[in-house]
Chains A and B, each alone.
Chain A
């Protein structure tokens, strides 16, 4: 294709009324007809529809077009669509150019006349660039047939099993001693009241035993490099001081260890040993030594554990190891945290001892928990009354604006469990009951019949300052009962706070490592809220579970499976198209100044020592253009965005023709 004789076709999209409501599309098409080298221009209701794409194909053939411009939405939406349509008519897809007259024009303006003028200018600029477009060849690279899953909660486990069952290798990385995540901490699940551990542990065991899954617990991601299909991941495997190949997981060392630390799994309600498993059904069962709690690391004495270890599995010189894995896709399933219940300070958490959180109640109610499943107050007595306060931190502009989506349902579950095990009166203080899932509304109705008291009003505060004899020694909840239109004071023995789900504390760091964005609430940002719920801005990196936003178990598992399916479709494809619009070095112009070497975010630039010039690895290059902007010798060209093309666009917008 020669550049001298461009024949440009311009197609202006109405996008229903999205564009045509503000921009006079007829005028834009008419103006396009007068632009240099434009031999055909038309407008159509929906260019992205099949008939719209057919218009492009037909016009290319009929008018012998060698450049195509569609003035429509953002290229992020439909550039691939029209590149394909262009290619179907036998034209190189990179001879297509998009003018964004929706996001950049009709959606952001109200003045119809000015918006139409701007749309014409945007088309003019695209026409100016189109003249200089050059055909580019797409290239394909092989996909590493292995998936990295970060986070061993139920989302990560589900994704790992689905992928492994499909025959693809998985590396499942979990930073704690055991996989299982939050779900392992829960006692029962709503609305079916299955034992959480009973349904989760079989999956954990399956994951551990699966020949296609390599489990890396007590490990964290250090660094991620590469691109879709070809990531190189460095994983820190923290020192456990126990040789997993030798240890039989008999647990004697745990029994014999005299040193204790607070158990995070039990939410600080009880202690664990310095050599420990996260919980009795932990997978893997091999314990780890907590260096901070172990006295041996403090004063060089003790080793009680080792004395009783028959297989001699202790390795006191164990050190953190960095392992490198090559994977084709990554699923981030790093889960959630809970808001510090002290932050909404009016509920007295930390000051009033019988104010506890939902997750603490899960442990209290659990047979393996700190009270062996007995619902008792801190004084060890069965409560006569319990209040469950909804929306602590959630739906609250002072803390988290969003709804945490699971609290209403677990509050119902708690009420049922308390009723089942005790004679206590149970109160739910709620704003709205949000029972949207399968079987959820039915569960709510069941609870209404179990004598649970529902008070429609968010609790204002919790106090131990009694005003009447009946309130003496109690926790008093003050709330406005909106259905009664009056303020109530309700004395109870135990208060459970349904505190908000939040992003993990290190979410910013994780987002940076994997190149994913975050929404204003701090959770990881999916590529499209409706149509691409598991993809991210970085190709080949997918999301699963609550790291993307609050979810219940069914949704989490579904998203885990969804992430597995998109990762698998990438792996199954076997190859991935890499950016054709990459940067290239003009060898004759490069003087080898090396200024470009350090600016490439993808480490795609090398140095040819013999020729004393820079060299770009086209497979690694994403076409970001940083090196082209940096190169002082103008020896690097960013294809599809070269100076000539960009300057032509600027001239078209700001200067006279030429």
Chain B
């Protein structure tokens, strides 16, 4: 243990690895990070063993950046273990913060997911219907696998979390803001999200009309957009108004509608409902039939509006707590 430098751990759970790549995406500033911190754990870059972590003293780690959602017993075990070993736990990225894209699996449960993935998908050949099981006896002994949960959880749903760094992935600027705050010891109050408190619209340069209306919905490939006009008003399902700002309105600045990866606004109860009800309110229709027809053009509303936030939304079936 090297005495003075703060101790940093990075971990990934149910994630695509993009958050780790984004961390490297800070380019040469990673050297500042390496200089400022003693990196104790980073599975994507360094070898490690779980038993090493178990040997650490409680609170030995100053900051743990945890990316990915929690959807199996191994991830839950590591989340709890790292929580015990870390003074500050940071939910890093959209998956750890809100469940993220893996969270859309909450539309299903373990059984239906296994049946699809190990059953009827076109490239699968599984006539004996063998599904992953936590324990399997073979002649050599017993094989084990982590237990796969029915639900995907955001990190704070399974352990206490101090800070949230949103984004899919977080932008280098957001990461450096977070890291900078840690280095300088200027941490915001616990529970804070790194980002701005206003919606992404605040950062977007596009112009909005006084009484916005949506004439019809388009998917991005169906329309050549006006580069200066609000994308929502052009019929794209831009979720900028329902999404926390902080990314600098990256997607809208390159003609792509905001997908909502910075998550709900601070006072929001349900980001998806916020976006959907806002869009439904400004669809240009004077009667119900026209409204129905226009709304029917909105493809996959659930996947669109809850793309990153389903596990923390109001759309929950009776939640099944993870087995510990």
Contact = CB atoms under 8 A, between A and B. Distances in A.
A626 B202 CA distance: 22
Interface in A590-645: 590-595, 597-599, 607, 612, 626, 629-635, 637, 643
B274 interface: yes
A634 B274 contact: yes
Contact of A630 (B200, B240, B281): B281
Contact of A633 (B199, B210, B232, B281): B199
A646 to B, nearest CB: 9
B211 interface: yes
A518 to B, nearest CB: 20
A536 B202 CA distance: 43
A343 interface: no
Contacts of A141: none
B211 A598 contact: yes
B201 A592 contact: yes
A588 interface: yes
Give the residue among A588, A591, A607, A635 with the most B Cβ atoms within 10 A: A591
Interface size class of chain B, counting residues whose CB lies under 8 Å from the partner chain: 20 to 34
Contacts of B278: 593, 595, 630-632
Given A589-B197, A593-B241, A595-B241, A607 B210 contact: yes
Contacts of B201: 591-593, 633
A629 B269 CA distance: 11
B198 A591 contact: yes
B265 A634 contact: yes
A537 interface: no
B197 A632 contact: no
A647 B202 contact: no
B203 to A, nearest CB: 8
B213 interface: yes
Chain A's interface size range is: 20 to 34
A616 to B, nearest CB: 16
Contacts of A632: 199, 239, 241-242, 265, 274-275, 277-278
B150 to A, nearest CB: 17
B31 to A, nearest CB: 36
Interface string A546-588: 0000000000000000000000000000000000000000101
A586 to B, nearest CB: 7
A654 to B, nearest CB: 10
Contact of A597 (B212, B268, B274): B212
A593 to B, nearest CB: 4
Contacts, number: 90
B210 A593 contact: no
B265 A598 contact: no
Given A632-B199, A634-B274, A598 B212 contact: yes
Interface in B221-262: 232, 239-242, 245
A593 B281 contact: no
B209 interface: yes
Nearest to A655: B318
Contact of B277 (A590, A612, A630, A647): A630
A599 B274 contact: no
B241 A591 contact: yes
A592 to B, nearest CB: 7
B266 interface: yes
B267 interface: yes
B223 to A, nearest CB: 20
Contacts of A647: 269, 314
A599 B281 contact: yes
B198 A590 contact: yes
A112 B281 CA distance: 42
Interface centre among A612, A626, A629, A633 (most CB of B within 10 A): A633
A589 B269 contact: no
Interface in B276-292: 277-278, 281-282
Interface string B68-79: 000000000000
5 contacts: A588-B198, A593-B240, A593-B278, A630-B282, A643-B269
Interface of B: 197-202, 208-213, 232, 239-242, 245, 264-269, 274-275, 277-278, 281-282, 314
Interface of A: 586, 588-595, 597-599, 607, 612, 626, 629-635, 637, 643, 647
Given A589-B267, A591-B201, 8 more contacts: A593-B212, A595-B281, A597-B210, A630-B277, A632-B239, A633-B199, A634-B267, A635-B267
